[in-house]
């Protein structure tokens, strides 16, 4: 593996999150309707961060949950079973605006699986998609509503997102596979 | 994540890490069972066969519901209503099922090693749902899951298995799973049903029930299997009950937080006092709930597994 290129350092990452939070706030007038659901694993820290900024903007707490897409993937049985993480959504999503949060948007297959998983948990009024990095190469007709940074990539590259909470620092790298 | 097995044949060949993977996966599937919509599409389009050559109700129902909750199609095959009665061999029966492109075969058989035998020539995944007196891996996994959920850990716990050990595949699988995860296992029952040879599996053998359960964190009771026993193993059921049955007096002398388990079906008034079976320390019904989650996890994992398999004999 050659040396990774830094796409977002800690301060750029923070600015991107603040901007996404403001865009979410701008799009959703009825702030009490909004809940955030992070996609396991990468979206969970991101959802918590966004919820922090959003509660600052709105002046009230924003519910945060997490969803695991392992049971809804379209490649089950084609490869080794994925590690399954908990789906924790301690509130009713029916009638709410769910902002689905993931770190990297790539083929769109994870998002598709997440939409199915959410569907089993209730009927949201609407679902919006927020991602930190959109790296292109979509294989499904899926588009993010909120994007931290668009990064054109080749298929031989990899995006790796690190969080202070779990990895010790905030940084996003572009790596050669 | 450590699971690349296509089959689940026994606990003996699993590592502690693989057992833990099943338990962690089962935890998530248990949460699915608590939702309004209890079904996920993980096995959509897959066909699961319950090939039960030996009768069973609870294990079969548990596997059937697990497969249905994963959106698989399920066929129940019982020996009584099959061509096995017409003289077809097990191998031909299994090959016939495979010709129908089934993906997972769940098998119970009275002969030790029957699922291992099938796994050597079938492309389908094979899950052992009990083979003779050998192993019953999903029962051990659900027992271990229940213990871990209740006690927060397995390592260092004292587990006493009480009853008919000799004929029990549940005991053998439990001994394997628990010792791999670091529990201390004590076996207790009439000496005819608990031979000392079990010490070679890393357990302690005791013939004094009060001593065997005094320090236990878990008391796992096994049913006296009338159907498997020759009459010579102990003089009478009443004698068994008075010497080894769990009653209030015996329970009073155990650790106050010791929990009582039983794989079912229970014989009230034989190995367990009726009141105790229903008391707060009994987790018998939790075992049933957990069994469903564990079997969903096993089906999910073997569906994705295609790594190194058991070496053919």
Tell me the DSSP string of chain A: --PPEEEE-HHHHHHHHHHHHHHHHHH-S-GGGEEEEEETTHHHHHHHHHHHHHHHHHSS---EEEE--GGG-S-BTTBSPPPP---B--S--TTSEEEEEEEEESSSHHHHHHHHHHHTT---SEEEEEEEEE----SSS---SEEEEE----TTEEEEEE-HHHHSS-EEEEEE-
Decide if A72 and B1 are in contact by the 8 Å CB cutoff. no
**Average predicted confidence (pLDDT) for chain B:** 92
Taking an 8 Å cut-off on Cβ atoms, the answer to whether B300 and A71 are in contact is yes
Min mean pLDDT across B75-84, B242-251, B272-281 is at: B75-84
The percent of residues above 90 in pLDDT, for chain B, comes to 80
- Nearest alpha-carbon partner for B234 in B276, B269, B270: B270
pLDDT at A3: 79
Tell me, yes or no, if B86 is annotated catalytic: yes
The pLDDT value given to residue B237: 86
What does pTM read for this prediction?
0.89
Q: In this complex, is the C-beta atom of B46 within 8 Å of any C-beta atom belonging to chain A? A: yes
Residue B21: the pLDDT is 95
Distance CA A5, CA A1 (A): 12
Tell me the average pLDDT across B223-240: 77
Q: What residues in A contact B46, CB-CB < 8 Å?
A: 77
In the predicted structure, residue B4 carries a pLDDT above the cut 50: yes
Rounded to whole angstroms, how far apart are CA atoms B59 and A123?
35
A86 neighbourhood in chain B, CB within 8 Å: 27-28, 31
Q: What is the pLDDT of residues B31-51, one digit of tens each?
A: 999 998 999 999 999 999 999
Tell me which residues of chain A, numbers 104 to 133, contact chain B at a CB-CB cutoff of 8 Å.
116-117, 120-121
Judge: A81–B46 Cβ closer than 8 Å, yes or no. Answer: no
Per the listing, tokens 């996920």 go with B40
- Judge whether B3 lies within some domain: no
Flag if B41 and A72 touch (Cβ within 8 Å): yes
Distance separating alpha carbons of residues A43 and A45, to the nearest angstrom: 6
Domain presence at residue B169: yes
Instruction: Check whether residue B128 and residue B243 sit in a common domain.
Output: no
pLDDT in the model for residue A80:
85
Q: How confident is the model at residue B307 (pLDDT cuts 50, 70, 90)?
A: very low
> Above 90 in pLDDT, residue B231?
no
Chosen from B73, B300, B301 to mutate, greatest number of chain A CBs within 10 A? B300
Q: Which of residues 59-118 of B touch A (CB under 8 A)?
A: 70, 103
Q: Does the annotation count B134 as an active-site position?
A: no
The average pLDDT across B137-148 equals 98
Phi (first) and psi of residue A30, to 5 degrees: -85, 85
A80–B1 CB contact, under 8 Å: yes
pLDDT for position B235: 83
CA proximity to A96, closest of A70, A122, A59, A60: A122
Residue B227's pLDDT is 64
Sort out which chain A residues have CB atoms less than 8 A from B40's CB and list them: 71-72, 117, 120
Round to whole Å and give the CA distance between B30 and B295.
10
Q: Give residue B308's pLDDT.
A: 37
Question: Residue B312 pLDDT > 70, yes or no?
Answer: no
Confidence grade of residue A166 (pLDDT, cut at 50, 70, 90)? very high
Given CB atoms, is A1 within the 8 Å cutoff of chain B?
A: no
Query: How far, in Å, CA of A65 to CA of A87, rounded?
Result: 8
For the question of residue B136 being annotated catalytic, the response is yes
Residues of A in contact with B70 (CB under 8 A): 71
Please identify which of the residues B108, B184, B223, B295 carries the catalytic annotation.
B108
> Would residue B312 count as lying in a domain?
no
Same domain as B122, residue B177:
no
Q: Is the pLDDT at B259 greater than 90, yes or no? A: yes
> Is B262 annotated as catalytic?
no
Pair B61, B152 in one domain: no
pLDDT at A1 over 70: no
Given CB atoms, is A90 within the 8 Å cutoff of chain B? no
Closest CA to B170 of B287, B280, B76, B78: B287
The pLDDT tens digits of the residues spanning A78-134 come to 888 888 999 999 999 999 999 999 999 999 999 999 999 999 999 999 999 999 999
Q: Say if residue B313's pLDDT is above 80.
A: no
Q: Which of A79, A84, A87 faces B25 most closely, judged by CB atoms? A: A84
Same domain, B247 and B293: no
pLDDT at residue B5 above 80?
yes
| pLDDT for position A78 | 80
Domain match, B153 and B124 both: no
Q: Cα–Cα distance between A138 and A62 in angstroms, integer?
A: 30
Same domain, B86 and B190: no
Q: Are residues B41 and B170 in the same domain?
A: no
| Residue B222 confidence (pLDDT) above 60 | yes
- For residues B202 and B227, membership in a common domain is answered with yes
Per-residue pLDDT of A38-86, as tens digits, reads 999 999 999 999 999 999 999 999 999 999 999 999 888 788 888 899 9
Based on the fold, state whether residues B282 and B172 are members of the same structural domain: yes
Candidates B35, B85, B86, B253; catalytic one: B86
B108 catalytic per annotation: yes
Taking CB atoms and an 8 Å limit, are B40 and A71 in contact across chains?
Answer: yes
Instruction: Look up the domain containing B231 and give its range.
Output: 137-288
Q: What is the 3-state secondary structure (H, E, C) of chain B?
A: CCCCCCCECCCCCCCHHHHHHHHHHHHHHHHHHCCCCCCCCCCCCCEEEEEECCCCCHHHHHHHHHHHHCCCEEEEEEHHHCHHHHCCCHHHHHHHHHHCCCCEEEEEECCCCHHHHHHCCCCCEEEEEEECCCECHHHHHHHHHHHHHHHCCCCCCEEEEECCCCCCHHHHHHHHHHHHCCCEEEEECCCCCCCHHHHHHCCEEECCHHHHHHCCCEEEECCCCHHHCCCCCCCCHHHHHHHHCECHHHHHCCCCCCEEECCCCCCECCCECHHHHCCCCECHHHHHHHHHHHHHHHHHHHHHCCCCCCCCC
Q: What is the mean pLDDT of residues B84-102?
A: 88
Is residue B228's pLDDT more than 60? Answer: yes
Which residue, among A40, A65, A68, A84, would best test binding to B if mutated, counting the most B CBs under 10 Å from its CB? A84
The confidence band for B81, taking pLDDT boundaries of 50, 70 and 90, is low
- Residue B305 pLDDT grade (very low, low, confident, very high; cuts 50, 70, 90): low
Residues contacting residue B261 through CB under 8 Å, at least 6 positions apart: B143, B146, B147, B218, B219, B220, B221, B282, B283, B284, B287
A84–B300 C-beta distance less than 8 A: yes
Number of compact structural domains in chain B: 2
Residues B87 and B188 reside in one and the same domain = no
CATH code: domain A5-76+83-176 is: 3.40.50.2020
For B300, which residue in chain A has the nearest alpha carbon? A81
Q: Which residues of A touch B149 (CB under 8 A)?
A: none
Clarify whether residues B244 and B262 are in a common domain. Answer: yes
B59, B93, B144, B186: the active-site residue: B59
- Residues B285-305 have a mean pLDDT of 95
CATH number of the domain to which B222 belongs? 3.40.50.1370
What average pLDDT score do residues B169-193 get?
A: 97
pLDDT at B275 over 80: yes
**pLDDT in the model for residue A9:** 96
At B84 the pLDDT is 72
Considering the domain architecture, whether residues B144 and B261 belong to the same structural domain is answered as yes
Q: Does residue B153 belong to any structural domain of this protein?
A: yes
Shortest distance between the Cα of B125 and any Cα of chain A, in A, equals 11
| Residue with the two structure tokens 């309707």 | A33
pLDDT band at B243 (very low <50, low <70, confident <90, very high): very high
């Amino acid at each position: 593996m050659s040396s990774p290129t830094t796409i977002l350092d800690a301060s750029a990452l923070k600015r991107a999150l603040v901007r996404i939070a403001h865009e979410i706030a701008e799009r959703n007038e009825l702030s009490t309707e909004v809940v955030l659901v992070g996609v396991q694993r990468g979206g969970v820290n991101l959802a918590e961060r966004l919820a922090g900024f959003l509660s600052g903007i709105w002046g009230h707490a924003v519910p945060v949950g997490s969803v695991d897409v392992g049971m809804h993937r379209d490649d089950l049985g084609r490869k080794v079973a994925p590690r399954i993480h908990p789906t924790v959504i301690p509130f009713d999503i029916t009638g709410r605006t769910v902002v689905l949060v993931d770190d990297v948007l790539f083929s769109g297959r994870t998002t598709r699986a997440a939409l199915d998983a959410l569907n089993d948990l209730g009927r949201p009024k609407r679902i919006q998609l927020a991602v930190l990095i959109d790296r292109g190469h979509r294989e499904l007709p899926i588009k993010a509503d909120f994007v931290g940074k668009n990064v054109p990539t080749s298929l031989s590259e990899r995006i790796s997102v690190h969080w202070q909470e779990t990895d010790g620092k905030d940084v996003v790298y572009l790596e050669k596979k | 994540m450590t699971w690349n097995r296509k089959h689940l044949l026994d606990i003996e060949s699993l590592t502690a890490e693989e057992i833990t993977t099943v338990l962690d996966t089962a935890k998530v599937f248990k949460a699915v069972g608590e939702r309004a919509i209890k079904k996920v599409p993980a096995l959509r389009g897959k066909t699961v066969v319950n090939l039960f050559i030996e009768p069973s109700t609870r294990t079969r129902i548990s596997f059937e519901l697990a497969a249905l909750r994963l959106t698989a199609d399920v066929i129940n095959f019982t020996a009584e209503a099959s061509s096995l009665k017409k003289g077809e061999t097990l191998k031909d029966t299994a090959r016939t099922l495979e010709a129908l492109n089934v993906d997972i075969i769940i098998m119970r058989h009275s002969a030790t090693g029957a699922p291992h035998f099938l796994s050597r020539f079938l492309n389908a995944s094979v899950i052992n749902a009990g083979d003779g007196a050998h192993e019953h891996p999903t029962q051990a996994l659900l027992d271990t899951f229940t213990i871990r959920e209740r006690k927060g850990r397995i390592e260092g716990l004292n587990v006493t298995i009480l009853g008919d050990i000799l004929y029990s595949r549940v005991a053998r699988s439990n001994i394997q799973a628990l010792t791999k995860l670091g529990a201390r296992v004590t076996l207790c029952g009439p000496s005819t049903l608990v031979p000392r040879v079990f010490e070679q599996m890393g357990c302690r053998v005791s013939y004094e029930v009060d001593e065997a359960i005094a320090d236990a964190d878990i008391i796992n009771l096994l049913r006296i299997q009338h159907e498997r026993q020759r009459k010579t193993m102990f003089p009478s059921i009443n004698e068994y009950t008075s010497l080894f049955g769990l009653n209030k007096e015996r329970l009073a002398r155990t650790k106050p937080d010791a929990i009582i388990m039983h794989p079912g079906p229970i014989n009230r008034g034989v190995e367990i006092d009726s009141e105790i079976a229903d008391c707060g320390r009994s987790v018998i019904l939790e075992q049933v709930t957990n069994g469903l989650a564990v079997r969903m996890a096993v089906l999910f994992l073997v569906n994705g597994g295609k790594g190194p398999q058991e070496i053919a004999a």
